Structure 1
Amino acid sequence: GDVAGPVNEAQVLVRLHTGNFGYFQDQLPKGEDLRFIDQDDKTPLKFHIERFDPINQMALLWVKLPMVQGGAAKQTLWMYYGNAEAVAAEDAGGSYDAPQALVLHFGDPQALGKDATAYGNHAEIGTAVIGEGPIGAALTFNGTGGMSIPAGRGLLATPESGFTLSTWLKFDAEQNEALLFDWSGVEGKLDVHVVGATPRVRYTDATGAVQEVSASAPIALAQWHHLALVGNNQGLTLYIDGAPAGALPAVTPTLNGPLQIGAAADGTQGLIGQLDEFGVAATARSADWVRFAARSQMAEATLLVYGEDGQQESGGESYFATILRNVTLDGWVVIVILVIMAAISWVVMASKGMTINRIRKDNGAFLEQFTQLGTTNVDRLDDANLDAFERDGSALLTALSGDHGHFESSNIYRIYHAGVQEMHHRTPKTVGAQAAELNLSTQGVNAIRATMDGALVREQQKLNSQMVMLTIAISGGPFLGLLGTVVGVMITFAAIAASGDVNVNAIAPGIAAALVATVAGLAVAIPALFGYNYLGSRIKEISADMHVFVDEFVAKIAEQHS
């Protein structure tokens, strides 16, 4: 790329997300099993974890490379994971070389000013708060105060060793001489501030003489930019996004005092914007080092390309397995609910199907015998023991295990039984005598019809019982699946925004995994829809037969007994 020469002791940012890594659920909760090996596949590399979030499936890792080859040379970095018995091997202090005296990630909400280097030069945070940055979290300044870093170990700049200050910067509006940082010493003070949208470097020596230089062009508002200031025995050089943007030759200060960031010590010159990844090194970094840092840390970084997983060389893996591996926790919750709904709907369809099939057979057998009865013996098929049987058995158990010797599953027979029993209640009895002749008035016939209509309604209720479960599966399944998809898409975009890596490979796996919930919802609804329509048509046929039978029975008894 545009990093021409070799870069020694560089830190490379490794961004993991669903687009390039699908094994978060296979790792230990805090990434304790992670290891990085140099391209010889033997030499362990120092690294530390800025953020590891297996729930949202993203991680930010800093790896120290002994040397980065310049030009178009290809360099391989190996990452190992998956050892369930591994202990944490990250080493934040060892991830930086000795001159690096300060690195602020702003990634720990409980310790925003924590220094990641071994020097422990922790910052004192004022009114600034945490926000979203190009590399995880960032520090947001509201213009009323900044943060300070006391003079400490390693925070020293001399003409011989030089120094490097670097940070990521973003502000949405033009600034009124807002201070980015100043660093004082016995010989003077160095500061970088922003006028409008243009960064400016100013050095004030012990006599009060001022030298300053502005960046060659304003920086774009509402965008993240990498800013670095490098000092050596030749002077000061300002870099914007890895490219030189201004210089102060012959300015070689000695600085060893405290640093003030985001605002002056008295609260003036407050910055209204954000800073991330603020670092100070007690050495003058090369132009290629600065360019590599800017190019490798930016959200659209192309210096680091993620290869295939090593395990896939011995055997392929289906696309569907890859998609399922990327499903988030909320997606699995929705899928489990849908599986339960599917199981209930299938049980209802199976039980209803067997019950209705048995009802149709018993109805046919009963009607075949009923049509052979004359008008004088319409009650001959009745069994007085039916009431006791109905109290003891369910429709499904009757369909599965009944002997069906007397139409046990026939709902038409039960309507017939109700009509015959109502008719017998109107027959006068005397001790030792036969039943007297039954004469029915119009009101009596209507009473028998009302009894049979009541039995018919109850039989229809039995036929339609549990059908609402299919309706819930049909209407609720797709909406639950859509809910899982929407939440999954939201989490995918949030994770990508937090990691700062925006490309098709980062988006596609998360979106595909989110759509699994919609597929699951449709898989629940479609069989339930077919089953509901089939069972509904059979229930309508049985209901029509029951209505026709009531009319026929009432007509026969009216003819016989009126």
Structure 2
Amino acid sequence: MKTMMFALVSAAWAAPAGGTPRSGVIHMILGAGAVVKLVLIILLFLSIACWAIVFLKHRVLKRASKESSRFLNLFWNSKNLATVYRESKKMQDSHLAEIFRVGYMELGRLTKASDREKAENPNDLEVKMMWIDNMERATRSAVNGEVQRLEKALTLLATTGNSAPFIGLFGTVWGIMVAFQGIGLKGSATLAVVAPGISEALIATAAGLAAAIPAVIAYNHFTNKVRNLETEMVNFANDFLNIVKRDLVRRSSQTMSSE
């Protein structure tokens, strides 16, 4: 986008040695028809929106990775899940902290339900293993929610990448059609007559590519990044569930031994 803007400014201010203003890009845009101008405006808005998403998404993913690294360090170096839960509330941008909070709260609800039903064999290992199933469903749902949050607005990048070249092509076809109509009215098809109209029309295709190429690159980059974060979340959820499962088995074994 910066390159395109630089070219626009350069073409607008440049002039030949003779001192006569040269027909630059801006001159051709201003001389284009209403439909071509509308196409260029649409492409400009799409390009601006895509670049805004790129900067915003880069910031969000960078912050999420940074806070998740802090959370992992806290999680693996802490002996108390309650402490981890309390500290994780300060890491609202961490996708891993969110997975942990959801799993921990589900474990807390199951523990309270078991405390209310102590008369019904609360130390039954089979019942406690059912807790793991509940926690697994809760964390899986949390992973899906975090993926949706991280993927938010990426659809516009994909839409721009797919549609911008065709929008630009439409402007080009329309511009060429108008140019040929003008040629027919003038009754001349010399290069001097044909070239200005064709060049004005081709600007729409160039603008479409200028909007689409960065959008496609950004979409592929961020999609790959989100997929990696999704794998990270799934792996962490499995590690967390394994820790809880081992603790439940250990406590159940200790209870059975004491009896």
Q: Which TM bucket (shorter chain)?
A: 0.7 to 0.9
Tell me the alpha carbon deviations over residues 416-468 of structure 1, each in whole angstroms, 9 at most, x when there is no partner: 000000101122458xxxxx989662211111111111111111111111110
Judge conservation of contact 2:168–2:206 (CA < 8 Å) in 1: yes
Q: Give the whole-Å Cα distance in 1 for the aligned partners of 2:211 and 2:110.
A: 53
Q: Which amino acid in structure 2 is aligned with residue 328 of structure 1?
A: G
Judge conservation of contact 2:175–2:201 (CA < 8 Å) in 1: yes
1:373 to 2:78 alignment: yes
Tell me the alpha carbon deviations over residues 6-36 of structure 1, each in whole angstroms, 9 at most, x when there is no partner: xxxxxxxxxxxxxxxxxxxxxxxxxxxxxxx
Consecutive unaligned residues of structure 2, counting only runs of 5 or more, are 1-16, 117-121, 250-259
Secondary structure of the residue that 2:85 maps to in structure 1? coil
1:328 to 2:33 alignment: yes
Among candidates 59, 68, 71, match of residue 363 of structure 1: 68
1:457 to 2:174 alignment: no
Larger relative contact order (CA 8 Å, sep ≥ 6): 2
Which structure has the larger Rg? Answer: 1
1:338 to 2:27 alignment: no
Among candidates 57, 77, 95, match of residue 411 of structure 1: 95
Q: Give the whole-Å Cα distance in 2 for the aligned partners of 1:442 and 1:455.
A: 20
Judge conservation of contact 1:445–1:554 (CA < 8 Å) in 2: yes
Among candidates 374, 377, 383, match of residue 86 of structure 2: 383
Secondary structure of the residue that 2:66 maps to in structure 1? helix
Q: Give the whole-Å Cα distance in 1 for the aligned partners of 2:19 and 2:131.
A: 85
Among candidates 219, 223, 240, match of residue 553 of structure 1: 240
- Corresponding residue pairs, total: 226
Q: Give the whole-Å Cα distance in 1 for the aligned partners of 2:151 and 2:111.
A: 35
Q: Name 2:111's counterpart in structure 1.
A: 427
Q: Give the whole-Å Cα distance in 2 for the aligned partners of 1:541 and 1:535.
A: 10
What is the deviation of 1:326?
3.3
Tell me the alpha carbon deviations over residues 359-395 of structure 1, each in whole angstroms, 9 at most, x when there is no partner: 0000110011111234xx3343113995xxxxxxxxx
Secondary structure of the residue that 2:84 maps to in structure 1? coil
What is the deviation of 1:316?
3.9
Judge conservation of contact 1:378–1:556 (CA < 8 Å) in 2: no
Q: Which amino acid in structure 2 is aligned with residue 347 of structure 1?
A: A
Q: Give the whole-Å Cα distance in 1 for the aligned partners of 2:142 and 2:124.
A: 23
1:507 to 2:194 alignment: yes
Counterparts in 2 of 1:245-260, with a 5 A limit? Answer: none
Q: Give the whole-Å Cα distance in 2 for the aligned partners of 1:419 and 1:519.
A: 50
Judge conservation of contact 2:132–2:241 (CA < 8 Å) in 1: yes
Using structure 1 for the length normalisation, give the TM-score. Answer: 0.38
Q: Give the whole-Å Cα distance in 1 for the aligned partners of 2:55 and 2:123.
A: 48
Secondary structure of the residue that 1:450 maps to in structure 2? helix
Identity of aligned residues (%): 24
- Please tell me the root mean square deviation across aligned C-alpha atoms, in Å: 2.4
Using structure 2 for the length normalisation, give the TM-score. Answer: 0.80
Q: Name 2:214's counterpart in structure 1.
A: 527
Q: Give the whole-Å Cα distance in 1 for the aligned partners of 2:110 and 2:30.
A: 72
What is the deviation of 1:346?
1.1
